[in-house]
């Protein structure tokens, strides 16, 4: 059944939800990347919670004028207006009072969300018979999604994606170095507002599928996931869009194959699964790569210390050191150095003496700063420099292998 959902063979509604969720995931991942790079992830939380009063007020106005209170376009328009007011309040508190941004976010988030809950309670007592399902905007609800709903979500996500691509360069510059961007003549405050506006657009579009409480996860988790795999901002944007799209599509398919599972939370859990895999398996920044680097470093330390001990005729008592030396063909099981081990041990001892000369010579101060006990001296000095150091040490010269 899950395969049928993945291949869009589970029905019209399931296909609409999967495609809409994928488009939302792509736009959320790409947009959230700039928010993540700007280190303003919590702003999306304030914006998402600020949409609730707008949803409730739009519902009440639609009902008061005799319309369908659950008209998606009207509810999204109300949520967008409310979110924009919340964003302006947060910016005003940040720039015109002594409140830090996190305090302003907390104030806007709590006040707007509290007001929204009050309005939601009032709506439940109105008795108009059309408020059922309005709570779905909290955690998302895709049951009974219509073609018009899916079209609104798809067009909104696509428009947001186009705007992000247009504003990508100035937003990237502001995200990494706002002072430099200001020096280049860019209107940093306006670009920040544009960035927040795009986040608001994604939040509003995603209310129907993910809900206002969980949309922040779809904005931030794909960007964090992508960051594990690359150092370049353009690739982070691309990978975040892919991660968001995959999360939306697979999460919607999982939800469709098990109808009792809510779509929004499943999408977020799939996104987290991609994050966990990246955390563990990313080739440079992942946990596994860090463990392997530590093991390689530990191996180098043990071999280096073992070679120095062999060069000085000391007995090796550490089992791991002896095992590593034996595995590398540098020592026998009884701790006696092989021919290759004797040569490597002599080289290691010679290098230690060379480093002592380098570290004591102020002319080599920059080179000495690179010493950490494992660096080969040939990587920082020329052959002529090493030969000069060997003349100061005395004894055999030219031990370079």
Residue 271 has pLDDT above 90, yes or no: yes
Q: What is the rounded CA–CA span in Å between residue 161 and residue 33?
A: 12
Domain count, the chain: 2
Same structural domain for residues 170 and 307? no
Same structural domain for residues 215 and 308? no
Residue 97: how many other CB atoms lie within 10 Å: 11
**pLDDT band at 314, cuts 50/70/90?**
confident
> Is 67 part of any domain?
yes
> Is 205 part of any domain?
yes
Question: CB–CB of 74/55 below 8 Å?
Answer: no
> Given this model, what pLDDT does residue 96 score?
87
Same structural domain for residues 303 and 274? no
Tokens of 368: 């000495």
> Is 278 part of any domain?
yes
Q: What is the rounded CA–CA span in Å between residue 354 and residue 309?
A: 17
User: What does the angle CA 309 – CA 313 – CA 317 come to, to the nearest 5 degrees?
Assistant: 55
Last residue of a domain, one of 285, 301, 328: 285
Checking 161-170 for CB contacts under 8 A at 24+ apart, the result is: 161/26, 161/27, 161/30, 161/31, 161/241, 163/198, 163/201, 164/27, 164/30, 164/31, 164/34, 164/198, 167/191, 167/194, 167/195, 167/198, 168/237
Q: Please tell me the least confidently modeled range out of 91-100, 145-154, 360-369.
A: 145-154
> Is 102 part of any domain?
yes
CA 131 to centroid of chain Cα atoms: 37
Structure-model confidence comparison of residues 204 and 31, the more confident one: 31
> Given this model, what pLDDT does residue 15 score?
79
Residue 121: how many other CB atoms lie within 10 Å: 10
> pTM for this one?
0.79
> Is 398 part of any domain?
no
> Is 401 part of any domain?
no
Same structural domain for residues 262 and 362? no
> Is 319 part of any domain?
yes
Same structural domain for residues 180 and 274? yes
Last residue of a domain, one of 257, 285, 313: 285
**pLDDT band at 144, cuts 50/70/90?**
low
Q: What CATH code is carried by the domain that includes residue 154?
A: 1.10.3470.10
Residue 396 has pLDDT above 90, yes or no: no
Averaged pLDDT for residues 354-370: 86
Same structural domain for residues 297 and 281? no
For residue range 49-104, list pLDDT tens digits in order: 888 898 889 888 888 887 766 777 788 888 889 988 988 898 888 888 888 888 88
Q: Could you tell me the residue range of the domain that residue 315 belongs to?
A: 288-393
Same structural domain for residues 294 and 378? yes
Averaged pLDDT for residues 332-350: 89
**pLDDT band at 293, cuts 50/70/90?**
very high
Last residue of a domain, one of 285, 307, 329: 285
Same structural domain for residues 306 and 277? no
Same structural domain for residues 49 and 188? yes
> Given this model, what pLDDT does residue 145 score?
64
Cα atoms in the 13 Å half-sphere on the side-chain side of 386: 18
Same structural domain for residues 154 and 250? yes
Residue 130 has pLDDT above 70, yes or no: no
Residue 48 has pLDDT above 90, yes or no: no
Average pLDDT for the chain = 84
> Is 365 part of any domain?
yes
Question: CB–CB of 14/254 below 8 Å?
Answer: no
Residue 133 has pLDDT above 70, yes or no: no
Angle between helix 339-360 and helix 287-311 axes, rounded to 10 deg? 100
Same structural domain for residues 178 and 240? yes
Q: What is the rounded CA–CA span in Å between residue 376 and residue 347?
A: 10
Same structural domain for residues 139 and 186? yes
Q: What is the rounded CA–CA span in Å between residue 138 and residue 113?
A: 10
């Amino acid at each position: 059944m899950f395969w049928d959902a993945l291949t869009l063979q589970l029905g019209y509604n399931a296909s609409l939800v999967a495609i809409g969720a994928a488009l939302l995931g792509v736009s959320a991942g790409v947009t959230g990347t700039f928010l993540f790079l700007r280190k303003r992830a919590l702003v999306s939380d304030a914006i998402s919670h600020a949409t609730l009063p707008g949803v409730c007020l739009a519902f009440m106005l639609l009902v008061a004028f005799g319309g369908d209170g659950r008209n998606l376009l009207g509810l999204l328009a109300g949520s967008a207006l409310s979110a924009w007011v919340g964003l302006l309040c947060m910016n005003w508190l940040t720039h015109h009072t002594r409140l830090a941004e996190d305090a302003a976010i907390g104030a806007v988030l709590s006040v707007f969300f509290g007001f929204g809950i009050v309005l939601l309670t009032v709506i439940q007592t109105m008795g108009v018979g059309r408020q059922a399902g309005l709570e779905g905007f909290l955690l998302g609800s895709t049951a009974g999604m219509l073609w018009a709903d899916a079209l609104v979500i798809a067009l909104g996500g696509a428009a947001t994606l186009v705007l992000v691509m247009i504003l990508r360069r100035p937003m990237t510059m502001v995200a990494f170095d706002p002072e430099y961007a200001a020096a280049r003549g860019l209107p940093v405050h306006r670009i920040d507002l544009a960035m927040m506006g795009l986040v608001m657009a994604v939040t509003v579009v995603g209310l129907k599928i993910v809900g206002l409480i969980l949309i922040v996860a779809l904005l931030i988790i794909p960007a964090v996931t992508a960051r594990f795999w690359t150092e370049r901002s353009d690739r982070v944007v691309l990978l975040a869009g892919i991660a968001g799209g995959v999360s939306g599509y697979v999460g919607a398919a999982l939800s469709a194959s098990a109808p009792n599972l809510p779509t929004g939370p499943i999408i977020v859990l799939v996104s987290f699964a991609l994050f966990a895999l990246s955390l563990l398996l990313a080739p440079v920044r992942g946990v596994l790569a860090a463990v392997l680097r530590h093991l390689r470093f530990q191996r180098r330390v043990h071999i280096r210390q073992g070679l120095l001990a062999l060069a000085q005729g000391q007995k090796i008592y550490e089992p791991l050191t002896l095992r590593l030396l034996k595995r590398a063909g540098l020592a026998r099981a009884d701790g006696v150095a092989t021919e290759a081990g004797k040569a490597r041990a002599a080289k290691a001892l010679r290098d230690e003496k060379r480093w002592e000369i380098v570290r004591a010579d102020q002319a080599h101060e920059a080179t000495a700063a690179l010493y950490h006990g494992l660096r080969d001296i040939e990587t920082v000095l020329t052959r002529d420099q090493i030969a000069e150091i060997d003349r100061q040490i005395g004894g055999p010269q030219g031990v370079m292998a």
